[in-house]
């Protein structure tokens, strides 16, 4: 079963195994945009990264919204990070246009197995718990797999802006 877990220093090596599979491609949902990946290999810097992610739930950095970062794992391989997912508790102008409430990335070797679908659906429960009535999820207009994941989870296309498809998922029962 796919689960979302909070970041932990205990899985630093497993996290880097996942990151390294991207081979320099953009890490959607990993919340690394202001961190140098080479520096993160240091145990101390990685611990600071994890602590920053935990604080971001209630004390986001300037210019950011409150957000919860999760790592995606499978009960069958709990020590293997399959990807990462960021759940933003609210939207700012940028997120409304391009990023959405939820961003995720799945390591290449774990794709095509329902990992993204399981993670997105688990995050919808978390979004409901935050009191959100609906969430915006976006994907690049050429990302067929992500589109399928979003639509399969109830996403309804609103429009396409700057090469990004914007889907709303209604969380009300």
Give the tens place of pLDDT for each residue, 8-32: 999 999 999 999 999 989 999 999 9
CATH number for the domain running over 2-170? 3.40.630.30
- pLDDT category at 6 given cuts 50, 70, 90 is very high
- For 143-160, the pLDDT digits (tens) are 999 999 999 999 999 999
- For 48-101, the pLDDT digits (tens) are 999 999 999 999 999 999 999 999 999 999 899 999 999 999 999 999 998 999
DSSP states of 24-87 = TS--TTS--TTS-HHHHTSHHHHHHHHHHHHHTTTSPPTT---EEEEEEEETTBTTS--EEEEE
What is the mean pLDDT of the segment spanning 31-46? 96
- pLDDT category at 173 given cuts 50, 70, 90 is confident
- Phi, psi angles (nearest 5°) of residue 66: -55, 135
Res 132: pLDDT: 98
Residue 124, number of CB atoms within 10 A of its CB: 21
DSSP states of 121-160 = HHHHHHHHHTT-SEEEEEEETT-HHHHHHHHHTT-EEEEE
Res 108: pLDDT: 97
Q: Is 13 helix (H, G, I), strand (E, B) or coil?
A: helix
Res 163: pLDDT: 95
């Amino acid at each position: 079963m796919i689960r979302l877990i909070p970041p932990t220093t205990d899985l630093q090596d497993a996290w880097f195994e996942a990151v390294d599979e991207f081979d320099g491609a953009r890490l959607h949902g990993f919340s690394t945009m202001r961190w140098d990946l080479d520096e993160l290999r240091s145990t101390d810097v990685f611990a600071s990264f994890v602590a920053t992610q935990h604080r971001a739930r209630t004390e986001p950095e300037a210019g950011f919204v409150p957000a919860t970062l999760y790592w995606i794992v499978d009960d069958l391989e709990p020590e293997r990070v399959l990807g990462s997912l960021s759940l933003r508790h609210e939207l700012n102008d940028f997120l409304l246009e391009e990023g959405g409430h939820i961003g995720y990335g799945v390591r290449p070797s774990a794709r095509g197995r329902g990992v993204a679908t399981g993670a997105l659906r688990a995050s919808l429960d978390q979004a409901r718990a935050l009191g959100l009535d609906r969430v915006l999820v976006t994907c690049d207009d050429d990302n067929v797999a992500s589109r399928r994941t979003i639509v399969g989870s109830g996403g309804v296309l609103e429009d396409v802006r700057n090469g990004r498809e914007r889907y709303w998922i209604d969380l009300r029962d």
